[in-house]
């Protein structure tokens, strides 16, 4: 019997609303693909701080919320892509990233990029699984 894979969007009123025609996360079997997230506070719709530390923390909180809505968490992240407005902020972003992930050390790519808003310092996407 041929079982066709189905992918479903992650839906939660606790995550920031997408700014375009995409889902904040998509689940395929036990895999979760989280779209690039920024430091938008879902409660206010506003940027959660101007420095790299505050923005990295809120961005990872948003990813954690999406993962939790899909039945997962930061401890099950396998890979992240980190996009920085300024690579000179890497050490400060990295300190928050290490604290938020604890003992989990996902594979990661970090690059400098032009982000969709001039006030954004960081955007992060992730791939995780449901345990």
Instruction: State the pLDDT at residue 6.
Output: 83
**Which superfamily, per CATH, for 7-129?**
RutC-like (3.30.1330.40)
Q: Are the C-beta atoms of 66 and 11 separated by less than 8 Å?
A: no
Q: Is the pLDDT of residue 7 over 80?
A: yes
How do residues 93-127 score in pLDDT, each as one tens digit? 999 999 999 999 999 999 999 999 999 999 999 99
How is the chain split into domains, by residue range?
7-129
Go through the chain and tell me how many residues it has: 131
How do residues 11-59 score in pLDDT, each as one tens digit? 888 887 887 888 999 999 999 999 999 999 999 989 999 999 999 999 9
Q: Are the C-beta atoms of 61 and 54 separated by less than 8 Å?
A: no
72-81 burial code (b ≥16 CB/10 A, e <16): bbbebbeebb
């Amino acid at each position: 019997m041929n079982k066709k894979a189905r992918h479903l969007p992650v839906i939660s009123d606790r995550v920031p609303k997408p700014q375009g025609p995409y889902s904040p996360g998509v689940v395929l079997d036990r895999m979760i693909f989280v779209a690039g997230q920024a430091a938008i506070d879902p409660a206010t719709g506003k940027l959660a701080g101007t420095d790299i530390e505050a923005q990295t923390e809120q961005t990872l909180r948003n990813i954690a919320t999406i993962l939790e809505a899909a039945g997962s968490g930061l401890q099950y992240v396998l890979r992240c892509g980190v996009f920085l407005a300024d690579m000179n902020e890497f050490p400060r972003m990295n300190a928050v990233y290490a604290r938020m992930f604890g003992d989990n050390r996902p594979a990661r790519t970090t690059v400098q990029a032009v982000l969709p808003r001039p006030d954004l310092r960081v955007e992060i996407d992730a791939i995780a699984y449901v345990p």
